[in-house]
Structure 1
Amino acid sequence: MNMLQTHSLAVAAISVVSLSALASLPGHDKREFTDEFSCPSGAYINSGGVNQYFPLNVGTVAYLNNQACVDEGECDELEEVTITVTPNTELVDGVLARVVEELELEGGEVVETSLNYYAECDGTGDVFYFGETVVDGDNNPLPDGWLAGENGARAGIIMPGGSFLLGARYFQEVAPGVALDRGEHVGMGLSFPNPNDGPDFENCVLVSDTNFLSDPKGKESDEKVYCPGVGLVMDEELELVTFSP
Structure 2
Amino acid sequence: MHTHHARPQRTSRGTLAAVALAVTITLTPAAAQASPDTTDPGPAATVLPPAATAEPSPCPPLHRFRQRDFGDSADLDNVHQPLRPGTEITLQAVANDGGALLPHVVVITATDLVKKIDGVWTRVLWQQDWRDGTAVESALIFQAQDRQGDVWQLGEYPELVENELPAGAPGAWIAGVAGARAGVVVPGDPDGDEPPYLRAEAPGIGLLRCGYVVDTAADAVCAPAICYDDVLIVEEFSPLLAPPVRHAYAPGIGLIAAAQANSDGETLFLSGKRGLSIAERLTVDWEAVQLEDRAYETSEVYADTSPMRFHAGDGDAEAVRQLMADRLRH
TM-score (norm 2): 0.57
Please name the residue that 1:28 is paired with.
none
CA RMSD of aligned residues (A): 3.2
Please name the residue that 1:82 is paired with.
107
Partners of 1:44 and 1:95 within 8 A in 2: no
Please name the residue that 1:145 is paired with.
172
- Counterpart CA distance in 2 for 1:166 and 1:142 is 38
Q: Using a 3 Å threshold, how does the CA distance of structure 1 residues 190 and 115 change in structure 2: closer, same or farther?
A: farther
Please name the residue that 1:158 is paired with.
185
Please name the residue that 1:107 is paired with.
132
Unaligned runs of 5+ in 1: 25-30
Please name the residue that 2:210 is paired with.
182
Question: How far apart are 1:43 and its partner, in Å?
Answer: 2.8
Partners of 2:184 and 2:200 within 8 A in 1: yes
Unaligned runs of 5+ in 2: 1-38, 52-56, 260-266, 276-330
Q: Using a 3 Å threshold, how does the CA distance of structure 1 residues 107 and 167 change in structure 2: closer, same or farther?
A: farther
Higher Cα Rg, which structure = 2
Question: How far apart are 1:167 and its partner, in Å?
Answer: 4.8
- Counterpart CA distance in 2 for 1:81 and 1:56 is 16
Write the letter of the residue equivalent to 1:140: A
- Counterpart CA distance in 2 for 1:224 and 1:187 is 11
Question: How far apart are 1:75 and its partner, in Å?
Answer: 5.3
Please name the residue that 1:228 is paired with.
251
Residue number among 80, 83, 88 corresponding to 1:53 in the alignment: 80
More helix by share: 2
Partners of 2:89 and 2:107 within 8 A in 1: yes
SS in 2 for 1:177: helix
Question: How far apart are 1:147 and its partner, in Å?
Answer: 0.4
TM-score (norm 1): 0.74
Mapped pair 1:243 → 2:270:
no
Write the letter of the residue equivalent to 1:241: S
- Counterpart CA distance in 1 for 2:193 and 2:104 is 30
User: Identity of paired residues, percent?
Assistant: 26
- Counterpart CA distance in 2 for 1:88 and 1:233 is 24
Mapped pair 1:206 → 2:223:
no
Please name the residue that 2:151 is paired with.
127
Residue number among 56, 59, 62 corresponding to 1:33 in the alignment: 59
SS in 2 for 1:45: coil
Q: Using a 3 Å threshold, how does the CA distance of structure 1 residues 32 and 91 change in structure 2: closer, same or farther?
A: closer
